[in-house]
Every structure is written in C-alpha cells, then in structure tokens.
Structure 1
C-alpha cells in the first residue's frame, strides 16, 4: 500500500480484541464494518512470551474485564493463532476490506509479514521499541505508527530510523487514554506533525467517545483515521467504552466522505466551527473546537498525565535477555524490550544502556533498573 498517495481518507475499524476471543464474533464484526463502508479492519497479534516478562504474565488480574485469573491467562484467552488470522484475512477480503493487525512484538511482526498484509500497524506501546523499529524498518513492509505515550524526541528518532531506511510509513497522532476526554485529544498535534514531518502522511487514532473529534481531525488534514469498533459497548473488556458502535461507525464514514466531497485542503482552526456548521457535521461545534483544538504552537509533544495509567500497565521497558554477572559490559543482544512487572527503564533508552556495566548479578527477564547499570 502506497501510504503517501492515498486517494481518500483511509478509515480503519480497529476491532483489536473486542471480538472476546470468538472467531465467529470477529467475522460478524468484519461484516458489520464492511456495511459501514470502512476501508480496513484491524486486529492485534501478540506472542505473549515475547511481549511480556514472566512476572507480568503471572500478575493477578482482578478486574471486571478479566477473562482469566492472571494477566497472561486473560491475554491468552483473547489471542488468535496465525492460522485464524489467515482465515479472518480471507474473510475480510471477501467483504472487500483491507485486513491488517498491530504487531505487538517482533515475533508477531514476522508472523504477520508472512500473511502478505498491505500494511502492519505499530501500536503506541511499541513506538519506543527501538530495536524492533530498526528491525522492521528493513523488512520492506508498509507501516502505520501510532504516537501515544511517546515524547517528541522518541517520535523524531523513530521517524528518522524509518526515513533513513526509505520505509513507506505514516504517523498517527494518538492519545493513549481509554476513553480520552475531549480536552485531552489535543488535535492540534496533527498540524504539529504535518509541519515537523513533511512528506509523511499524518493521521489520527482516537479513543474518545463519539465522532466529533474524528470529524475535526479530518478537517485538519488527517489522511488516515482509526477508531476502535464494537458491536456492544456493554461487553466485558476495557476497550469497549472507547469504541464506536455500528451506528456511530456508519455515521462517521458518512461524515468523512461528506467532508471529502465538499472541502479542499486543511481547514484552519478559526474556520473549523463555521465549516462544521455549514456541513452539518455535528451540533455545538464551538465547544468541541475549543476543547479539542487547544493551541500547541511549537510545544514538543510529551507524555500526558492522562496516558500514565496506560503507560504503567502496557508501556515497554528494557529487560535483561539472559542471566549475567556483575561487572559485565552490556552489548545489544543482552537487552530486550518487554512489558515488565515492575516497570524498568523505558524502552526508548535502549541505546543509552548498551555499553554500560552491570552493578549486580542479573537474571533473564528481569526489568533493567537505573541502579543496575553504570
């Protein structure tokens, strides 16, 4: 897929794991998404041992959304095999849709690559996974990369790695908060990314309720639009509350195509309200514009307070790839990247840790702490 030359806004229905681990329900969701008129359905693929440390998988998961007593059992219940992904891909394509998935670790990326997907998504939780980004940048696969929970410096580093490898990629503005309040959507970072990453397609992956902010994102120039999708917001699972139901997804596609038919180019902030009113996109636009489009000017993107809970739960940390002795100098293969319990040094500092000396004996899968290296 040539992401730089999209003919229209590319609308992705993110099914994720809202299928409840049921392939029949997953197919039902694909069919409903196709009826809504989206371009693509997207799932999530994980190799649990590659994504999580053993301690993270064994962590008790006492939640109303749990499908298992531990987080590992919960995630295993929701995970499809690569053979099931092939079945879903064939079904989606029979419905006229592009099929894709987020690769949540390098093992899953290699599996998804074998399916010949038109693109693979790199979710916000892996955008700081520097060794994985370096690996996939050389795989000749189109990539859509979300930027939630990431700083400006990390996003620029990832951009430069992909650009230097001549990768075909797009960046999505994203806030990793479920659901995201209107005030926290910070849509002006779409404009910020357009300015700082010229010639790279910029899109929006939203987790807020409703479709208003998504309409604004398109008016502001988003070329890719991703929204989580569910058949029932009351189902068990943490993503349903920030997902669109079938009627909302239908309405969103209709509004986006209306915008494309009647609007040429990016609408400046001072004309957003009048444009929304003229096209009858939604009611009371002034309040939404004032909340969602707060000025950012040239303020570098940071990790926002509303994202800290997600970062604590699913952010990637540096971990030790094997048992090692005190005094050993770390090389690249000594360090891995996983969701760890507890959190360790954030994954974006991978290059800073390579070459440092161990201050104690360490064991495979332990999180790398500041006090461990010097």
Structure 2
C-alpha cells in the first residue's frame, strides 16, 4: 500500500496559486517543506485541451479573472510548461519532499508519469466521469488518488470499476466538496464512512473549507489522506487564493493532524494498553476500604464501621461485600486503610 501505515498522507495543494510565476512556485515548495507536508501538488494542463473559449465559469473563477478574460485565457495564464514542471520536480527532490501534479489532459498525464516519474496519480473531481482519462490512468501502473466532488455513488461505482478494469491496483478515494470555499454545513464528512464501507478502500478528504479544523476532524474519522490548498498570500488576486491556507496555517493544520494521530491510539483496553502514567493515578483517584470507627477485635464489620475513601492503595471496594459480617482479627483504629490481615478467617 502506497499510503503510510503510521500517519496520514498530507498533500499540500499549491495548485495554480503560483499565478504562472515559477519563482512563486518555488516559494510554495519551500512553504510545504517548512510545514512538513508529504507531497506538494501542482496542476498540469494545456488550456486548449481543457476548455472551450465559451466555457462557463463559477462565480469564484469570475472573481479571480481579469476583466474580459475567458476561462481558457485564465488557464493559459496559469499554465506551467514542461520545463517548469521538470524544474519544480527537481527542486522538490533537492528539498526532500515529493512532487505531485494533477493532470487534466492525456498529454500532461503522460509527461508526469512517463517523463517526470510521479509515483502516484491524482485524479481531480472534474475527471471522475472522464472514462477515457481513467482508462489511461490504469495503464500507468501507479496508485491513484481519486477525488469525488460533485459525484454520486453510481458515478463513483463506474469510475472505480473503470480504473480497476484498466489495471489500477491501489486506489484511495477522497471525499470532496467542489465549492471554494465550502461552508461546513455542506461538507458531510460522514460520507467518508459511506465510501469506506461501500468499496473497502482507504478514504481521505480533499478540503475546500476555510481554516484548519475540518482536516483534523477528518483524520479523527479515519481519513488516510488529506489534501488542502495553500498559498503564499490568501488575499492575492486569483480564483483559489481566498480558499487557501497561508504557510503558517498549513503548518498549523499538519501539526493538528499529527496531534490527532497521536491521540487516536490502537483502540485497545487490555491491561497492557493503559499507559503507566495513567496506571499510577489509580493510587490517587481510586478508593479503598477504610474504617470509619474504631473496631474491637472480634467485632463484626458492618456498613456503619467501614467506608470507601481515597487513596487507592488498600483493599479494593469490590471486596466490601465479602468482608461484611466477618469479625475483626485485631483492634483497629478509625480512619485507616483496612488490610487483609485485619479480617479474621
């Protein structure tokens, strides 16, 4: 399995937030490294292969476009050419972080897999119904991370079957909501459980909400992979900046995710699963059987002369019923722990 077993895979999504500037893309890689992400991901496309000049735009895309700029014009301005993608991949290697890019056309997919050597394919939600593209992914013999924004279960069924029939052996499904930014009330994190239970595959979450809360919540719910947009400046002009984290927020998100992972534990409650530091608190917080009055030798133990108080270093409270009615083996002071030898046989 390409997903790590001991931690959540975190993909820092730089996407198109470089605004077509290779120096900005390099700075985004540096920010992802500083945040301790596992991958930094960009987007690879040829604008003419992706959209018609008359393609519709969402409101957030319109807001991030220059006046008179078509969807194709916008994407053309944000394209990374092959030399640039190679430079970014090489820079990632030099910095010890994995390079990833979402391909939006067959040419870009071939370049990323066959030339750059990406070790995983990330399929965008927009291509979940693009069966020709999915079949081509299946020929690359690498794992696939599949986003499912906008998709219903029959569409996801078809996409997964297509990938598997084409030869894809490892798939992680990312729950996703394709709106930027996504308000919490439409995110439906429990959909991850639906996907996991239906397909028996690892699941994750591609987050388009504001802030760092929901990725950590997704990890607590079983997400094996988290993808999140980030930018050098969330106030910058462009379609994705305002739904992206700052570098400091990206670092904070990953720290929160790692804290949640540490807190999840194994789920075991056998004696060996309880931490020594917690076991030591039994002495402090648990209770023992104690005398509430002075008891003479031979006097029977009763509810009136015995009680249950801290500390938890004496006879266990569960033994009280076994002691009641038995005689004291010696004279015993009030307000002391009862010892086994105090009880006559």
2:70 aligned partner: 70
Quote how far apart the aligned CAs of 1:179 are: 0.4
Query: C-alpha separation between the residues in 1 aligned to 2:61 and 2:232?
Result: 25
Q: Where does 1:115-126 land on structure 2 (aligned, <5 Å)?
A: 115-126=116-127
d(CA) in 2 for partners of 1:196, 1:265: 24
The one of the two structures with greater contact order (alpha-carbon pairs below 8 A, sep at least 6) is 1
Task: Measure, in 1, the Cα distance between the counterparts of 2:182 and 2:246.
Answer: 16
- Superposed CA deviations along residues 232-277 of structure 1, whole A, max 9, x for unmatched, are 11101121111111121111111111112221368xxxxxxxxxxx
Q: Distance in 2 between the 1:129 and 1:6 partners? A: 31
Tell me, yes or no, if structure 1 residue 92 matches structure 2 residue 92.
yes
Structure 1 equivalent of residue 254 of structure 2? 253
Shift of 1:6: 4.0
What is aligned with 2:338? none
Give SS of 1:156's match.
Answer: helix
Question: CA contact under 8 A between 2:3 and 2:9: conserved in structure 1?
Answer: no
Q: Distance in 1 between matches of 2:238 and 2:46?
A: 20
SS at match of 1:80: coil
Give the drift of 1:44: 0.4
Distance 1:196 1:64, change over 3 A: closer
1:62–1:211 distance in 2 versus 1, CA, 3 Å: closer
Shift of 1:110: 1.1
1:53 equivalent in structure 2: 52
Q: Which runs of 4+ in 1 moved over 4 A?
A: none
Q: Are 1:182 and 2:190 an aligned pair?
A: no
| Alpha-carbon distance in structure 2 between the residues aligned to 1:154 and 1:57 | 22
The SS at the match of 2:116 is: coil
Of 172, 183, 202, the match for 1:170: 172
- The residue number in structure 1 matching 2:133 is 132
2-side partners of 1:117 and 1:57: how far apart?
31
Contact 2:143 2:168 in 1 (8 A): no
Larger Rg: 2
Corresponding residue number in structure 1 for 2:142: 141
> Structure 1: which 5+ residue stretches go unaligned?
267-374
TM-superposed deviation, 1:62: 9.5
Per-residue deviation, residues 170-216 of structure 1 (Å, max 9, x unmatched)? 11000001100011110001111110111x22110000001111111
RMSD over aligned CA atoms reads 2.3
Asked whether the equivalents of residues 86 and 115 of structure 1 are also in contact (C-alpha less than 8 Å), the reply is yes
Give the match for residue 31 of structure 1: 30
Pick one of 176, 190, 193 that aligns with 1:191: 193
Q: Which digits, 9 at most, give the CA deviation of each residue in 1:314-340, with x for residues without a partner?
A: xxxxxxxxxxxxxxxxxxxxxxxxxxx
Q: Distance in 1 between matches of 2:13 and 2:217?
A: 19
CA contact (8 A) 1:9 1:223 kept: yes
Quote the Cα distance in structure 2 between the aligned partners of 1:74 and 1:50: 14
Cα pair 2:48 2:72 within 8 Å, conserved? no
1: CA distance, partners of 2:266 / 2:213 = 19
Match of 1:354 in 2: none
- Give the match for residue 39 of structure 2: 40
For 1:265 and 1:238, the matched residues in 2 are separated by 41
Verify the 8 A CA contact 2:182 2:210 in the aligned structure 1: yes
So what's the TM-score if we normalise by structure 1? 0.67
**Does the Cα contact within 8 Å between 1:181 and 1:208 map onto a contact in 2?**
yes
The alpha carbon displacement at 1:138 in A equals: 2.1
For 2:216 and 2:266, how far apart are their aligned partners in 1? 14
Residues 46-103 of structure 1, C-alpha deviations (whole Å, 9 max, x = no match): 1222212344399xx9944225722222211110101110100111121111100001
CA contact (8 A) 1:11 1:39 kept: yes
The answer (yes or no) to whether the contact 1:187–1:217 under 8 Å persists in 2 is yes
TM-score by length of 2: 0.72
Aligned to 1:22: 21
Tell me which residue corresponds to 1:219.
220
State the alpha-carbon separation in 1 of the partners of residues 4 and 127 from structure 2: 25
